[in-house]
């Protein structure tokens, strides 16, 4: 199990483009904290254009193709989003709409995915979280089952670009552990099935 975990690569998507974003700070903190167990790379969604089906041919514009390739190469995706007007950020929804194509066979199909939301409110973006999960389900992503991680009062828990609240960090790491376990089990299952693959030859 440990070597399966050691080679895990995660992709982090922040729903906020703000330079001092709390969501991006949470992702950065997870990346540092996890570094001995998995690699978590952040993908900046700033270059993703507004979704336009006219441009959605041959994988879409270059920036979208880069995003899709990054998702495809990752073992799992960690999405951290603020709540805007009771929903996920437009930045994240737009990126997910691009990444969702081709429908039902996209790079998100079966992709282990973990959703975290954060907000200054006591609700911690829980309404946005439900929406993100619903969108991921529509894309046939594999949303990891774990207690919902919402970071309430996030403005009091982030300082100098890091999540500094121990309880919130531990809770988020518990969910990331569930994601890593899920990925490790999938890797082991894939390894076992390749070991048993006889290439179609009959093995008595
Ligand atoms: C346009 C707008 C709408 C917002 N709506 C909500 C909301 O419905 N619920 C909520 O909890 N916070 C809401 N907020 C607060 C954001 O969740 C908060 O600013 C958050 O920290 C932004 O994420 P970031 O720090 O990663 O940029 C809203 C903020 C903006 C700018």
Q: State the CB neighbour count (10 A cutoff) for residue 186.
A: 16
From 13, 18, 42, 119, give the residue whose CB has the most ligand 1 atoms within 8 Å, as the site to mutate: 119
Q: Are 115 and 135 in contact (CB under 8 A)?
A: no
How high does pLDDT run on average in the chain?
A: 94
Q: Please report the domains of the chain, with CATH numbers, ordered by start residue.
A: 2-195 (3.40.50.360)
Total length of the chain: 204
Residues enclosing ligand 1, CB less than 6 A? 16, 18, 21-23, 82-86, 119-121, 123, 125, 154
Structure pTM?
A: 0.94
**Given the CA of residue 81, which atom of ligand 1 is nearest to it?**
26
The first and second tokens of residue 171, run together, are: 């809770």
**pLDDT given at position 15:** 98
Q: Are 183 and 113 in contact (CB under 8 A)?
A: no
Report DSSP state, residue 149: E
- Burial level of 97, CB count in 10 A (0-12/13-18/19+)? middle
- Give the separation between CA 184 and CA 9, rounded to whole angstroms: 11
User: For 45-74, what is each residue's pLDDT tens digit?
Assistant: 999 999 999 999 998 999 999 999 999 999
How far is the centre of ligand 1, averaged over its atoms, from the C-alpha of 145 (Å)?
Answer: 25
- Give the separation between CA 136 and CA 115, rounded to whole angstroms: 10
């Amino acid at each position: 199990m440990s070597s399966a975990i050691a080679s895990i690569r995660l992709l982090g998507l922040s729903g906020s483009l703000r330079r001092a974003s709390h969501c991006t700070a949470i992702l950065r903190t997870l990346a540092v904290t996890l570094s001995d167990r998995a690699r978590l790379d952040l993908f900046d969604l700033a270059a993703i254009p507004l979704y336009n089906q006219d441009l959605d041919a041959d994988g879409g514009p270059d920036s979208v193709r880069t995003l899709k390739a990054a998702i495809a190469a990752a073992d799992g995706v960690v999405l951290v989003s603020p709540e805007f007007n009771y929903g996920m950020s437009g930045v994240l929804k737009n990126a997910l709409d691009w990444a969702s194509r081709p429908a039902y066979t996209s790079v998100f199909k079966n992709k282990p995915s973990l959703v975290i939301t954060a907000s200054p409110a006591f609700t911690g973006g829980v309404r946005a979280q439900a929406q993100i999960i619903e969108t991921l389900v529509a894309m046939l992503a594999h949303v990891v089952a774990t207690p919902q991680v919402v970071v309430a009062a996030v403005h009091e828990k982030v300082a100098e670009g890091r999540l500094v609240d121990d309880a919130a960090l531990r809770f988020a790491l518990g969910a990331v552990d569930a994601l890593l376990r899920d990925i490790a089990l999938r890797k082991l299952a894939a390894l076992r099935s390749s070991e048993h693959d006889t290439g179609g030859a009959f093995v008595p």
